[in-house]
Amino acid sequence: MAATKEQVLASLAAVKSPEGVALTETGKLSDVVVSDGKVFFSITVDAAVVQRWEPVRKAAEAAVRAVPGVISAMVALTGERAAGAARAVAPPAPAPAGGHGHSHAPRGERPVQGPPGVAAIVAVASGKGGVGKSTTAINLALGLRDLGLKVGVLDADIYGPSVPKLLAIRGRPETLGGTRLKPMQGYGLTVMSIGFLVAEDTPMIWRGPMVMSALTQMLREVEWGTLDVMIVDMPPGTGDAQLTMAQQVPLAGAVIVSTPQDLALIDARRGVEMFKRVNVPVLGIIENMSYFICPKCGERSDIFSHGGAHHEAERLGVPFLGEVPLHMAIRETSDSGRPVVATDPDGPHAKIYREIAERVRDQLKLSGAGRAAPKIVIEA
Ligand SMILES: Nc1ncnc2c1ncn2[C@@H]1O[C@H](COP(=O)(O)OP(=O)(O)O)[C@@H](O)[C@H]1O
Ligand SMILES: [Mg+2]
């Protein structure tokens, strides 16, 4: 029998705040998500009292784990600079997937520290969904791996976590010492995804604080080990959730994926602007589904008027990283969990992704200056 939300809330009512108030009455609990025995929520408090709340977080986790039918509990403690209560009671409306953001920046939360052993965190983002962001992120990660780098992949696409499928990784991460999670491994990549923790077909409404607590946990409570680069598959779009992430995760840079169509390019432009606004260096734009090569006759056609992203990159003054064709082999390998760079390393597509990976690596070296990002120590 799977645990119900009511059971979980009842267990939390028995947990007391430092002031002795039932946790469920403090107004500091986010929405509690219960899915297939997996429980997920955050406690948001004033940053000044975070330390005092850590025992409460632990007690909440223990209480929830003790509920029959609960397989795992992920409880994040989030510190807010301003009074956290109001925020936790009335979380901001969820940003629609692929929606367009407002220009205000989320306030009040402290930047999340990156994992200590990770030299550079790179976001792979797109202005909208379905442009091949995840496929590009995975093959880029594998391209970087082929350059001799130790690479991690963080699937932060909470609206559609697809990395487990793209890498054909099944199962659940092991816990280490009760609270820390061991990342999964696939094709030589160290991988963590919200998809390992929440059932694939569970529709979830993510609110601002939950997005950040999920991400915080995947960054801070996973044993990433030592990595040269971590590729983050971002949620599509440029809404509040994306902006919060761009702002609070110590990104060394961002890569924007776009298709060549005008409409996708408008969204890509928003993506570039979003990262610029929060002082994350844009490492460049990749044009995906750039042109079509007929698998039968080998003839090339520019279905979506190829070259748009290259032109746009020039206009925006950001590097152009390369063109990936629209090809059946990329779709088939991607959708069956056998990414083309890993399964056909000598083929033409792997070569394209490796060249893009080289440019990303080179860009990372150049754009290390800027904001307080982790120091980049990638060996050529
Ligand atoms: N270059 C490409 N050629 C052919 N199919 C592609 C290519 N890039 C992505 N796809 C396919 O397009 C679909 C969407 O790609 P995906 O990477 O999941 O996009 P996103 O993460 O942006 O939603 C998938 O079926 C994927 O296999
Ligand atoms: Mg995706």
The CA distance from 152 to 129, in Å, is: 22
> What is the residue with the minimal CA distance to atom 24 of ligand 1?
331
pLDDT at 301: 78
The CA distance from 213 to 220, in Å, is: 10
User: Is the Cβ atom of 129 under 6 angstroms away from ligand 1?
Assistant: yes
The CA distance from 109 to 93, in Å, is: 17
What is the biggest distance separating any 2 CA atoms in the chain, rounded to whole angstroms?
73
The CA distance from 141 to 135, in Å, is: 10
Nearest 10 degrees: CA dihedral of 245, 246, 249, 254?
130
Q: Is 51 helix (H, G, I), strand (E, B) or coil?
A: helix
Average pLDDT of adjacent 10-residue blocks, the chain of 380 residues: 90 95 91 81 81 90 93 77 36 38 43 86 92 96 96 90 94 82 96 81 62 81 94 89 84 94 83 92 93 79 76 91 93 96 96 97 66 42
Pair type for strands 282-293 and 253-258: parallel
C-alpha 56 – ligand 1 centre gap (Å) = 43
Pocket test of ligand 1: the residue of 256, 289, 324, 334 to mutate, having most ligand atoms within 8 Å of its CB, is 334
User: Is the Cβ atom of 332 under 6 angstroms away from ligand 1?
Assistant: no
C-alpha 113 – ligand 1 centre gap (Å) = 31
User: Is the Cβ atom of 324 under 6 angstroms away from ligand 1?
Assistant: yes
Neighbours of 44 (CB within 10 A): 31
C-alpha 22 – ligand 2 centre gap (Å) = 39
pLDDT at 247: 85
Q: How far is CA 17 from CA 14, 78, 86, 88, in A?
A: 10, 15, 16, 15
Judging by beta carbons within 10 Å of its beta carbon (0-12, 13-18, 19+), is residue 51 exposed, middle or buried? exposed
User: Is the Cβ atom of 348 under 6 angstroms away from ligand 1?
Assistant: no
> What is the residue with the minimal CA distance to atom 26 of ligand 1?
331
User: Is the Cβ atom of 156 under 6 angstroms away from ligand 1?
Assistant: no
Q: Which ligand is nearest to the CA of 304?
A: 1
User: Is the Cβ atom of 125 under 6 angstroms away from ligand 1?
Assistant: no
pTM of the full structure: 0.73
Which residue in the block uniquely carries the two structure tokens 């279905």? 303
User: Is the Cβ atom of 288 under 6 angstroms away from ligand 1?
Assistant: yes
Backbone angles phi, psi at 58, to 5 degrees: -60, -45
The CA distance from 248 to 215, in Å, is: 10
pLDDT at 145: 97
pLDDT at 101: 36
Pocket test of ligand 1: the residue of 128, 131, 135, 340 to mutate, having most ligand atoms within 8 Å of its CB, is 135
Which residues lie closer than 8 Å to 144 by C-beta, 6 or more apart? 151, 228, 229, 231, 357, 360, 361
User: Is the Cβ atom of 133 under 6 angstroms away from ligand 1?
Assistant: yes
pLDDT at 206: 62
pLDDT at 205: 60
